[in-house]
Structure 1
Amino acid sequence: MSEASYNEPSRDAYEDALPDGGTHKQDDDACQHALLEAKKLWSSVKISADTDPLSAYLNRLNHLEPLPSETQQELAVRYMENDDEEAAKLLVLTNLRLVVKLAKEYQRRKTDLLELIQQGNLGLSEALTRYDPYRGVKFTSYAQYWIRAMILNYLMNYTHPVRIGGSRAGRKLFYNLKKARRALMQNGHKPTASRVAQYLDVKEEEVVRVAAQLDAPPVYLDAEAPGHEDTTVGELMESETVSPESAAAEYDLASQIRAVIDEFGDGISDERKQAIWTERMIADDSKTLAELGDDWGVSKERIRQIEVGMREDFRAFLVERLGDDVKLEWLKSP
C-alpha cells in the first residue's frame, strides 16, 4: 500500500471561522464559511491512485479536528431551531472521526471496517435528528449510542448466514450472551445454556441457536472442503432434490410404462372398451361413468364393471411385460 501525499492545510482554519455570538445574519454567514473551509480541508488532501478506499478516507479525516463541545452545542441549537443545514453538515463532518474510533472497537475477523464506518455514519446522522441540545448532554455522548446501535444492528443481522436479530430474545442474546457467561463464571457456575437462559429470562432453545452462530465461524459453501482439492463445501452437501441417478431411473421406468400403456391400448379392438380406456382410464380430463354410460346407451354401473375388468387385464399385462415390482396407484379399483 502506498502512502498518500498531502497538502498542508491549517487544521483549525474552519474553527476560526465559526460564529462567536454575532447577529443571526453574521452567524449564518460564519457557519456557512466554516463549512466551506471544512470541505476545502477534506478535498485538499491529495490521494494517489493506488491508495485503497479505507486509507484514503482515514487520511482525509486526519485533517478534520473535532470541535469543542460548546461549539457543537451551538451548532445543534442552530439546527434544531432554524433547521440550519450548514450547521448540521458541519456537526456531522467534524464527528466522523468519532465514528471511526467506535467502528474499530467492533472490527472482527473478516469484517469490513468500511462497512462498519458506513453504518456508524448512519447512526451519527440519526443522532443529529433526535438530539435535544437543551437536556444538558454533550452531542458526542448522545451520538455514540446511536453509532454503536447501528453498527451492532449491522453485525447482528447482516454478517451471519442466519439472521440473529429476528426476535426480541435473539437481540437480547446478541448483546448480552458474553456478559451473562462471564457473570455466571464469576459466581462459580458453568455457563450452560439452561443457566444462561434463566439468567437472561429467555428460552433455552434461543440460547442454543444464537450461541451456535456466535461461537463458531460461519461455513462458506464456496470454501474448499477440508481434505479435498478443487471441491467446495457446498458440493459435498447432500442435496434435497432428486439425484441425477434417481431421476434417470425414474424417467426410464416411466418411459417403459408409457410404452406398455400404448401397447395395451393398441390391442383393444372393442370400440366401447377403447373409449373407456382413452376417455376415462388414461385421460388427463377423464369422463365420468355417467357421461360414458350416456354415450353408449348403458348404465354407469355397466361402465364401471367394464372398467374394473380392464384394470385387471392391464395389471396382468403390465406384470407380464415389466414384472410384479411395478405398482401404479391408478390401477386400484375405483
Structure 2
Amino acid sequence: MATTLIDNNTDAARHEGGVTADPIRAYLNGIGKHRLITAAEEVNLAKAIEAGLFAEVRLTDPTRPVHDERLRRDLEIVGREGRRAKDQLLKANLRLVVSIAKRYTGRGVSLLDLIQEGNLGLIRAVEKFDYTKGFKFSTYATWWIRQAITRAMADQARTIRIPAHTVEQINKMTRVRRELMVSLGREPRHDEIAAELGVEPFRVLELMSYDTEPVSLDQPVGDDRNTPLSDILRCPEDEQPGETTSYVMLRREVNDVLTSLSAREQGVLRLRFGIDDGRQRTLEEVGKAFGLSRERVRQIEKLTLHKLRHLAEADRLAEYAC
C-alpha cells in the first residue's frame, strides 16, 4: 500500500507533465496536500505501526493459528490501523525526500528518479523507526533516504559502475572540498582535503580520478567539431602476449617493493611516475597534493630513489630492465 501510494504520486506527476506541465511541480502539488505532523503524532503513529506489525505477524503465524473469531477481528482491525498509520507517516515526510533529493541533482539521474529512490529509503525508515530512542523521525529517516539515493546513483548514473561505498566517499570528498573553498576563499590543496577526511593525499587524488566519466571515441573534437576523437588518437602497436604478462608482473613487483616505503614516500613516487594512473605529475603538482614546496618534493624523490636502490627487494626489478 505504501509503495502504491508513492508510485501513484510519481506516475501522476509524469503523466501530468506530458507536454505542458512541469512534472516536478505536479508531484509537489500532490504531496503538498498532506499535512505535516507533530513529534507527539509521530510517536502515536509509530506505536500504531508497531502494534499493526505485531497483529499481522500473529495472524500469519502458522504455529499459532487464531481460532477465536473475536480475537481475529481485533487483530485485523489493529493491522489495518497500523497500515493506515504507516501511510500517514509516509505522506507527512514525502517533502523531506524532495528536499534531500534536490541536493543530488546534476549527477546523471533525474530529480523524479532521485525522489523515487529516496521514497524507497523513506519506506525503509518507517519500517525500522524505533520511537523509544527519542529521536525525531525526520532525523532518523534522513540517513535512510540519503543511503537509498546514493546507492541508486552508484548503479544508474555512471557508465562504469563504482561500488556504493566509494561513491559515498566521493560525495563526502566533494562536500568537504566545497566547504573548504568557502572557508579558505580559494581552491583547497589535496592535503587539506585529505586532512579533513582523515586519509592520505594520494587517496584524494584516487577518488578524484574515479569521479570522471569515460569519453566516447565518436565525440567530435577540433575547431570544426567534425572530427571524431578516434581519428586523432594514436593506435598503439599490438602487444605480444608475453609483453602484456611481463607488464602485469612488473606492476605487481613494483607495488610490493613500494610497501617498504613510508606513506609519503610511496605517494610522491606514485604521483611523480604515474604508477597508478599513467600520468606523471610535476614537482609543483605533487607539492600541492602534499602541501610541500617543489624543492622538498625533489629532495624526497631523490632520497627515496636512493633508498630503493639499496633495498634487497628492489633487486627483483632488475630482470625487467631493457
TM-score, normalised to structure 1, is 0.47
Q: Which has the higher helix share?
A: 2
Greater relative contact order (CA < 8 Å, ≥ 6 in sequence): 2
Normalized against structure 2, the TM-score is what? 0.49
